[in-house]
Amino acid sequence: MISELGTMGWLSLVVAFGAIVPIVPTGAAVSGAAALAFHDNPLLILLTIAAGAAGAYVGDLVMYAMCRAGGEQLARRLRWLRDEERLASVKERLHKSQMPVLLVSRLLPGGRVPVLLAAAFLGLSWRTFVVANAPACVLWAVVYAGIGVAGGSIFPEPWQGVVAAIILVLVIGQVVNLISKRRAARQAEAETA
């Protein structure tokens, strides 16, 4: 049990780091851990969810603090701010309905950073962010752990389940990005027409 707790600690650290440095595939880490937990001890899936959610939550808090403190200058320097139009759109949606936008942003690949930036630039209160981000992180961890369990349940060997879960997460992420890009291109065409 001590070994599993250490592993969950590492998972939390990886996810927190990935929330701050958005190139780390945090969803794949949670899915892979859940696939292993499915084969080792299914009760560990709950610890995987807790560790993933805790890491995501801490990482998001650090990222939000950086966005609030550094503002647009820091966002540009770290290349978080790339699309002014998308940021304006996110600000508008966030202004209308804060909780749902924060909740959904954690689930969409590439959606979290623009929402964190928009929330920071709008001056969203810490209290609102802290409260809204907790269920978003738990939901995110549950979804990615579910993907891992699905991958782990299909294959007899744990390593096969981990590989399947990681591939599934990457494929889903690419499909969502492709759909988002096509939707944005259609919207841009409609606006220019």
Domain ranges of the chain: 2-192
Q: Provide the Cα torsion 106, 146, 179, 129; round to 10°.
A: -10
pLDDT for 148-159, tens place per residue? 888 878 877 777
- Segment holding 68, helix H or strand E: helix 44-77
Kindly tell me if the per-residue pLDDT of 56 is higher than 70: yes
Q: Extract the tokens encoding 141.
A: 């961890």
The residues, ordered by sequence, that sit 6+ positions from 51 with a Cβ below 8 Å of its Cβ are: 8, 9, 11, 12, 15, 33
Tokens standing for residue 29: 């880490």
Instruction: Provide the token pair at 167.
Output: 């591939």
Average pLDDT of span 109-117:
77
User: Average per-residue pLDDT in the chain?
Assistant: 79
Token code pair at residue 192 = 């220019």
Condensed to tens digits (0 to 9), the pLDDT of residues 93-103 reads 777 777 777 77
Q: What is the mean pLDDT of residues 21-39?
A: 84
User: pTM, whole model, 2 decimals?
Assistant: 0.77
